[in-house]
Structure 1
Amino acid sequence: MAKQSPFGGSIVALVTPMGDDGAIDWDCLERLVEWHVEAKTAGIVAAGTTGESPTLSFAEHRELIAKTVKLAAGRVPVIAGTGANSTTEAIDLTRSACDDGADACLSVVPYYNKPSQEGLLRHFTAIADAASKPVILYNVPGRTITDLADNTLLLLSEHERIAGVKDATGDVNRLRIQQKLISRADFRYLSGDDGTACDYMLAGGHGVISVSANVAPATCARLAAAAAANEEEQAFEASDRLLAFNRLQACEANPIPVKWALHHLGKAGPGIRLPLTPLGEKHRKGVAMAVEGLE
């Protein structure tokens, strides 16, 4: 039986399209949102890591979320990336996103300053206390260094506004451990790792916040739907179509490969902001071949 969830299925970690000068391309953003609605993408993350949130000013961050909400027009949920390594900043971003109509907020483990588990507990509790919409926690130790421990997640799951976790560890066993620890039936488990997303969803995860969905929204939607219905053969078939691009995502830092792939497909301009740079020449042929024929 398919899992029913307000936050599940294939959720795209949407890029922020930019011109050559790095300015946000609002017309392209509209086209991308329409493409995802038509492809049955289950949700859009705006201003996340893939959206180059570290390079956005506060004003741009808020405008990007507000415009994405307006463009989605209730046809697909919008989850706002509002994490920061300053608790005060994360609270400000979260309040703004809630005020601007986001359906939920995605809050990453603080990066660089390496808080303790007690610090994480207090940080996320303060954010959830300040939020008026659900908060999804984001654990990506490959970027943040600090890992959100399973026992800390258990304590945070008791907060009524903490709705779930995006797990980008790539370790499906973490899902099984967390499911045994956390008794809340409505707590959402979302993969943040395209390479293991199929296994994660077949093991009971509710969906994926996907980078690959930027270039293959329909395929990612089929994968998530098949996994939710426990249709393993169909799920693995869709997953296999994504295999080459999923592997090449790591050839340079995200979102460099996916932004170049969108440009190659004619879906967006080449713009990206420093300190990130366009995809290196040596990787372009491989990425181009990997995305050919995806939909």
Structure 2
Amino acid sequence: MTLSGVYVPMITPFDATGAVAHAALRTLAHEVLDGGAAGLVALGTTGEPTSLDPAEQRDVVDILAGVCRERRAPLLVGASSVAAVTALRDQPAVAAALSLVPPFVRPGETGVVAHFAALAAASPVPLVVYHVPYRTGQRLSVDTLRRLAALPGVVGVKLAVGAVDADSVELLADPPAGFAVLGGDDAVISPLLALGAHGGILASAHLATAGFVELADAWRAGDVGRARALGHRLAGLSTALFAAPNPTVVKAVLHAEGRIPTDAVRLPLLPPDDEALRVALRRLATAPGTPVGARR
């Protein structure tokens, strides 16, 4: 399998009682697919998975798997342990697991490779490595990313290193065959696509979904002028959406638009201040690709 295009790591909306808002999640998933998203991600960081209990996590996966079956779209699920990946066996809509480089313990690059070899051997679905060193504390060299790409069952990487660095340039200059490089830092997705990234996993694409899809299509088609213009405008939107910890501003904007019932997040997150919301709404008003209207 080859992953490409824009994937939206879905937020988890909450209702006025604090419970997961099932209908709103289902509607929002349809909306971003209507906007051209290639697929969805369940239980990514944007979905606040550590604040959900096991039953809530199952509900989120079931809802998004149902939408993806209906729409024939791939679903990625955040799953970073043997227990988590084996639980995906009964979900035929799941195309891959998005698996985090082990955080905090900093096992070294050889340890990371050994970890993913064991995880891939146990997993019923392919793995996408989630490389986000500013969260995990573990950097990976280009050579290590290539070793990971060579593992059976590892099909891609969500590359979120905080910048377009020399390692990213080197990897994209000669990407491993059959290995998808998906950008994970929304504000720099345009230069990553220009360098040859296959797509992105972008929380910002809850808003202006069609604009992010158009951006990926423009770089793929070699329409440099159009892609540059789109990229500059969408980077401004992404910067505003990440002005406070993700997904607080995204949720606030979705609520302001009436697309989710509340802007609630769960601790340790707190809602953004009013100024962050105002700036994000101003950026959205001029961003390409307006949100698709809610299904009725």
> So what's the TM-score if we normalise by structure 1?
0.90
Identify the match of residue 156 of structure 2 among 150, 158, 164: 164
Number of equivalent positions: 284
Deviations 1:184-240 (A, max 9, x none): 321111100111111111111100111110111111111111111121112122222
Q: State the partner residue of 1:86.
A: none
Q: State the partner residue of 2:252.
A: 260
Shift of residue 47 of structure 1?
A: 0.8
State yes or no: 1:111 paired with 2:103: yes
Q: Please identify runs of 4+ aligned residues in structure 1 that moved more than 3 A.
A: 179-182
Q: State the partner residue of 2:220.
A: 228
Structure 2 CA distance for aligned equivalents of residues 284 and 81 of structure 1? 28
Task: Tell me, yes or no, if the aligned pair for 1:15 and 1:255 is still in contact at 8 Å.
Answer: yes
Show the 5 A alignment for 1:27-176: 27-73=23-69, 74-83=71-80, 90-101=81-92, 102-169=94-161, 170-176=163-169
Give, as a single letter, the amino acid of the residue that structure 2 aligns with 1:222: E
Shift of residue 181 of structure 1?
A: 6.5
State yes or no: 1:291 paired with 2:287: no
Distance 1:215 1:121, change over 3 A: same
> So what's the TM-score if we normalise by structure 2?
0.90
Identify the match of residue 185 of structure 1 among 169, 177, 189: 177
Task: Tell me, yes or no, if the aligned pair for 2:29 and 2:67 is still in contact at 8 Å.
Answer: yes
CA RMSD across the alignment: 1.8
Shift of residue 179 of structure 1?
A: 4.1
Distance 1:153 1:98, change over 3 A: farther
Task: Tell me, yes or no, if the aligned pair for 2:18 and 2:264 is still in contact at 8 Å.
Answer: yes
Shift of residue 249 of structure 1?
A: 3.0
Give, as a single letter, the amino acid of the residue that structure 2 aligns with 1:61: Q
Structure 2 CA distance for aligned equivalents of residues 120 and 249 of structure 1? 31
- Percent identity, aligned pairs only, is 30
Q: State the partner residue of 1:272.
A: 265
Distance 1:180 1:242, change over 3 A: closer
Shift of residue 61 of structure 1?
A: 1.9
Shift of residue 13 of structure 1?
A: 1.5
Task: Tell me, yes or no, if the aligned pair for 1:20 and 1:270 is still in contact at 8 Å.
Answer: no
Task: Tell me, yes or no, if the aligned pair for 1:65 and 1:97 is still in contact at 8 Å.
Answer: no
Shift of residue 6 of structure 1?
A: 3.5
Give, as a single letter, the amino acid of the residue that structure 2 aligns with 1:235: A
Structure 1 unaligned spans of 5+: 84-89
SS of the aligned residue for 1:45 comes to strand
Distance 1:29 1:8, change over 3 A: same
